[in-house]
Amino acid sequence: MNRVFENLIGGGWRGSGDAINNMNPSNPSDVVGRYAVASAADVDDAVVTARAAQHAWWALTPQDRADRLEAVAAELAARREELARQLSREEGKTLREARPEITKAAHVFRFYAGEAIRMSGEHVASIRPGIDVDVIRRPLGVVALITPWNFPLSIPAWKSAPALAYGNAVILKPSELTNASAWSLAEIVNRHLSSGVFQLAMGDGRTGAALASHAGIDGVSFTGSVATGRRIAETAPPHVRVQLEMGGKNALIVMEDADIPKAVDAAVKGAFFSTGQRCTASSRLIVHRAVKDRFLTQLVTAMSALKVGDALDESTDIGPMISQAQLDRVQDYLRIGREEGAHLRHGGERVEGKGWFMRPALFVDTGSRQRINQEEIFGPVATIIEVDDIEAAIAIANDTGFGLCAGIFTNSLGYARAFRRGIVAGMAMVNLPTVGTDYHVPFGGVRSSSYGPREKGFAAREFFTTTMTFYTAA
């Protein structure tokens, strides 16, 4: 393979001296593509271009911006199968999960096409006579978007679409492990927008650091690990607005009156689908002692039926881990769990094959303070913690440094209400998996999971716009 996919910088496609190979985690000898690495000088150029392009983009009518975002949505939807296959091939997500990710990206662009038109301010009566006060919304300016590998199309989409709808210029720095989806998104968006409004600067953490610490940007929206997020918060220039979406250690509570088959289905989807590589994964299953045996038996049966294999095979339930490093890290947590005294009840074995496969793993007899219940493993590993009542269930659900999402299975209004009042999380679900959220409502967490304004839906405008309070007297 000779072609190097270039960065989109300074109004055109641009190569560089350095490039990264993108490998198929189901079969690492399959090179998906070779992608140029943006240097610090490329980042400088991107910022200068973005500054110039942003004014013209904001000067368009909202209808113009909406029409262009709508065209992006239409192209994403029309190319769903091709983009889903590329996503499965580069990330290892099954086709069954990749297809909805493309659809969601299209929906997000369509939603924000409407938001471009709905963007409004507020008229307020002045406390002084003869004066009008208006609170006007304006774009933040030039925004850096730094994204992880686990949702290679939808996270860049759900950051880019609101940024563009509200009149900002975007520089996207995707994960170095999943450049293909980001490159395709850049190619599509650029075709429908004016030059320089959307730029792509690929590379590893060095490119990300050059961009996030650049004095010429106005905001940085990041999704990824807690460690990287903290570094970005420390190194961003003081005037730069920062939004961080980071890890999770999400609890799914199963009470004694729960519909057990439904709870098992939600646990399988939440803990193991996407190979457990999602921030909203239900990695801790907090189960009432009265139903623990029944829940466990059904869960193990369901886990045994999961087919682990090539992400592009339509019959696969669980694809590979993203990389050898991630597989090694997750395997190490299996050792840590055993050393802490937890019992590996099912799974965890490496699976024969070319890729980075392992069978979903379940620990039982675990304690809340063990590392496997405190640290984000980011793989197909779940733990069971037994409890005797709703108070203990909620206390343990809250017993980590994270607070992204949490769920409960119950038929009791009282339990559901206690959960609603007591749970510490940015998102909470009753009788639903913790994974799977709507795009038109706020997304984000508390504690170490998130920092800054929420993402998605109408909440996104808090980050991507700024207000000007405008006083008029005749």
Nearer to ligand NAD, 210 or 268 (CB): 210
Contact residues for 364 (Cβ-Cβ < 8 A; gap 6+): 296, 342, 343, 345, 383, 384
Residues 188-227 that bind ligand NAD (CB under 6 A): 204-205, 208-209, 212, 223-225
Of 245, 376, 386, 455, catalytic: 245
Vertex 411: Cα angle to 439 and 265 (nearest 5):
60
Query: Which letter, b or e, does each residue of 422-460 get, where b requires 16 or more Cβ atoms within 10 Å of its Cβ?
Result: ebbbbbbbbebbbbebebeebbbbebbbbbbbbbbbebb
Can you tell me whether residue 233 is helix, strand or coil? helix
279 is an active site residue: yes
- Should residue 146 be labelled a site residue for ligand NAD when binding is judged by CB under 6 A? yes
Rounded least distance, CB 37 to ligand NAD, Å: 11
Q: Where in 289-412 does DSSP place strands (E)?
A: 343-346, 361-364, 381-387, 405-409
H or E stretch at 145: strand 142-146
- Should residue 173 be labelled a site residue for ligand NAD when binding is judged by CB under 6 A? yes
Binding residue (CB under 6 A) for ligand NAD from 45, 97, 176, 218: 176
If you search the block for the tokens 């002084």, which residue do you land on?
128
Q: Where in 380-434 does DSSP place strands (E)?
A: 381-387, 405-409, 427-430
Nearer to ligand NAD, 114 or 436 (CB): 436
Vertex 343: Cα angle to 341 and 349 (nearest 5):
120
Query: Under a CB-based contact definition with an 8 Å cutoff, are residues 299 and 262 in contact?
Result: no
- Should residue 53 be labelled a site residue for ligand NAD when binding is judged by CB under 6 A? no
Rounded least distance, CB 322 to ligand NAD, Å: 8
Picking from 150, 160, 379, the residue whose alpha carbon sits closest to that of residue 276 is 379
Site map 444..463 versus ligand NAD, x via CB under 6 A: -----x--------------
- Should residue 149 be labelled a site residue for ligand NAD when binding is judged by CB under 6 A? yes
- Should residue 436 be labelled a site residue for ligand NAD when binding is judged by CB under 6 A? no
Q: How far apart are CA 41 and CA 38, in angstroms?
A: 8
Site map 269..288 versus ligand NAD, x via CB under 6 A: ----------x---------
- Should residue 92 be labelled a site residue for ligand NAD when binding is judged by CB under 6 A? no
H or E stretch at 294: helix 292-304
90 is an active site residue: no
Stretch near ligand NAD under the rule CB under 6 A, chosen from 72-80, 145-153, 338-346, 408-416: 145-153
- Should residue 231 be labelled a site residue for ligand NAD when binding is judged by CB under 6 A? yes
- Should residue 434 be labelled a site residue for ligand NAD when binding is judged by CB under 6 A? no
Which residues in this chain contact ligand NAD in the complex, by CB under 6 A?
Answer: 146-151, 173-176, 204-205, 208-209, 212, 223-225, 228, 231-232, 245-248, 279, 376, 378, 404, 449
Residues annotated catalytic, as ranges: 245, 279
